Structure 1
Amino acid sequence: MSFATKRLGELPDATAPDGSEVWVLCSTSQGSLAHFTLPPHAVSKAMAHRTVEEVWYFVSGCGQMWRLSHDHEEIVDVEPGVAITIPVGTHFQFRSLSHEPLTAVGTTMPPWPGESEVVTIDGIWDPTV
């Protein structure tokens, strides 16, 4: 058994398929943790995941998250202190509505398998990233 410890770096590790900046944090065999940032007034690309589900907790900025699963669709306001779920197969898109970045910490279960995980879909807003 080993332990992992990681501090948030100054520069992102990658750009997510949705266009947000990603800082990869720790992972285990059951899940992974990352820090996501969407620039001020930016709109992500719309996505769906093939096999993973996620839980996001917003820590700065304000914006909106659109989710669609089967016949259930909603847009929710997100800001620090709000947590949301993204079940497997859910179509989702998010946007920043503030002068500061929209930032969230997200857990992916099982751990992020790679770029082939993503299905690009049509969202409700025009992406800007």
Structure 2
Amino acid sequence: MTHQPHQPYRTWQFADAVEVTATDGSSVLPLGELSGAASMAHFELAAGAVSRAVSHATVQELWHVVAGSGQLWRRQHGRQEVTPLRVGTTVSIPLGTAFQFRADDDAALRILAATVPAWPGTEDEARVEPGPWPATE
């Protein structure tokens, strides 16, 4: 068994998160990070809104829908599909996958996401891609 470097545990509060706007246009609340290894965030897309299509340069993500409903489009190596997003659905966004999501008209779509490695915070991490739907700006 290898020895891991000491990393103190931490606690974050949802109410203390500072909202940022992602390249795709969604509202993001960063929730916590493990020394660059992984991070968590809460995404929200307003009812009826459509994100910009993007891909990530260095990270991959797991999403879990916690409220609302909508659709997720993903394209990877010539394969593409649209997946319904409902409360309880978990989806993966592997490295380099182009994706776009939209919220149904009746409520905001809210997603809890884990990012591996942690979100780097650089402008060029999310690259705008062509997608199937016009984005709401």
Task: Please tell me the TM-score bracket, short chain as reference.
Answer: over 0.9
Q: 1:23-102 maps to which residues of 2 (within 5 A)? A: 23-29=29-35, 30-102=37-109
Q: Partner of 2:124: helix, strand, or coil?
A: helix
4+ long deviations beyond 4 Å: none
Structure 2: runs of 5 or more not aligned: 1-6
Match for residue 108 of structure 1 among 111, 115, 125: 115
For the structure 1 residues 10 and 41, does the alpha-carbon distance in structure 2 shift closer, same or farther, using more than 3 Å as the test? farther
8 A contact 1:46–1:93 mirrored in 2: yes
> TM-score under structure 1 normalisation?
0.95
Q: Partner of 1:25: helix, strand, or coil?
A: strand
8 A contact 1:52–1:108 mirrored in 2: yes
Is 1:126 paired with 2:134? yes
Q: What's the CA shift for 1:11?
A: 7.2
Q: How many residues align?
A: 129
Q: 1:13-32 maps to which residues of 2 (within 5 A)? A: 13-29=19-35, 30-32=37-39
> TM-score under structure 2 normalisation?
0.89
Structure 1: runs of 5 or more not aligned: none
Aligned residue type for 1:8 = F
RMSD between superposed Cα atoms in Å: 1.3
**Correspondence for 1:117:** 125
Over alpha carbons, which structure has the higher Rg?
2
